[in-house]
Amino acid sequence: MIGKARANGIDIAYETFGSGPHPTLVLIMGLGTQMLGWNDAFCRLLADEGLHVLRFDNRDVGLSSHLHDASVPDMPAALAGDTSSAAYRLDDMADDTVGLLDALGIHGAHLVGASMGGMIAQTVTFRHPTRVRSLTSIMSTTGPAVGAPTAVAAGALLLAPPTNRDEAIRRAIETFRVIGSPGYPLDEEALADLAGRSYDRSHDPAGFARQFVAVLASGDRTAALRTVRVPTLVIHGRDDPLVGFDGGRATADAVPGAELLAFPGMGHDLPRPLWRPIIDAIAGLVHRTERSRDAS
């Protein structure tokens, strides 16, 4: 089901897979990436595991509200440590997520976040602990002190934005040649299709910049993550050049009892050959958590 809900003062576009009676699994995507970044087939495979899957566009991407009235942040200043131009922070994006749950009548959910989405999912978990049943943080980190990108990966992320559809497709392929999984072939056809559909759906470089500075302005989450008491899974590629593996290890170390699942050859993407073990791990965590709740 595709819909749009009013939440936390903005409109959030969302889509669901599977049926409501099953546990709700919320997928939160990363920097500048629309909910299309959660592949349709990946979502359906999760739904086939007895899950009610909810994906959505974060603020400033896709069909959710774009903060056009906010100024474009000062990226050079933010990279130098001055984040005063931030229009919002990860706290606000976490509250968007909970607002969407409120709008859809969902009290408790299992969260899965990738990259910046992992940061948002972490923030929801310690900011709204009664709303989260389990947390899965994928290719993410606790803050700027760990998980730093390589110089080449950072450069690929910070290139001037594309100005047309063809350039957007070329840029996506070039970027994932740098940040993608070195142990697995890059599916350029699927990536080109995703980049084209994303460009057609919404192209907003200013929104990307606001999200980027929101991450920089949100600081370190280590102390807050130590308060997390829900079952937690951390998934990370050992060969991630954009968010280094030490970011995933730091996340698992910060959350009491967290499990770390590391994949050699995985970079900053979800290569199709790894879908099955990743889906099994996520679904296993959800169903163990639900059984534990039923037994208590």
* CATH number of residue 23's parent domain: 3.40.50.1820
For residue 187, tell me if it sits in a domain.
no
Mean pLDDT rounded to a whole number for the chain: 96
Q: Return the pLDDT at 1.
A: 79
For residue 194, tell me if it sits in a domain.
no
Instruction: Give the model's confidence band at 111: pLDDT under 50 very low, under 70 low, under 90 confident, else very high.
Output: very high
CB 100 within 8 A of CB 5: yes
For residue 155, tell me if it sits in a domain.
no
Identify the three-state secondary structure at position 141: coil
Q: Return the pLDDT at 19.
A: 78
Span 203-232, pLDDT tens digits: 999 999 999 999 999 999 999 999 999 999
pLDDT at residue 296 above 80? no
Record the tokens describing residue 260, joined without a space. Answer: 């770390």
Average pLDDT over residues 255-278: 98
Share of the chain above pLDDT 70, in %: 100
For residue 267, tell me if it sits in a domain.
yes
pLDDT at residue 81 above 80? yes
For residue 161, tell me if it sits in a domain.
no
Instruction: Give the model's confidence band at 295: pLDDT under 50 very low, under 70 low, under 90 confident, else very high.
Output: confident
Q: How many domains does the chain have?
A: 1
Q: Which of 53-57, 69-73, 81-85, 226-230 has the lowest mean pLDDT?
A: 69-73
Q: Return the pLDDT at 282.
A: 98
Enclosing domain of residue 97: 2-148+204-295
pLDDT at residue 131 above 90? yes
Q: Any idea of the CA torsion for 239, 270, 102, 100, to the nearest 10 degrees?
A: 100
Identify the three-state secondary structure at position 146: coil
For residue 80, tell me if it sits in a domain.
yes
CA 255, CA 148: separation in Å to the nearest integer? 20
Helix or strand holding residue 102 (H, E)? helix 90-103
Average pLDDT over residues 176-197: 97
For residue 195, tell me if it sits in a domain.
no
CA 231, CA 259: separation in Å to the nearest integer? 9
Average pLDDT over residues 257-267: 98
Of 267, 49, 246, which Cα lies nearest the Cα of 179?
267
For residue 154, tell me if it sits in a domain.
no
Q: Can you name the residues that pair with 5 across neighbouring β-strands?
A: 12
CB 95 within 8 A of CB 65: no
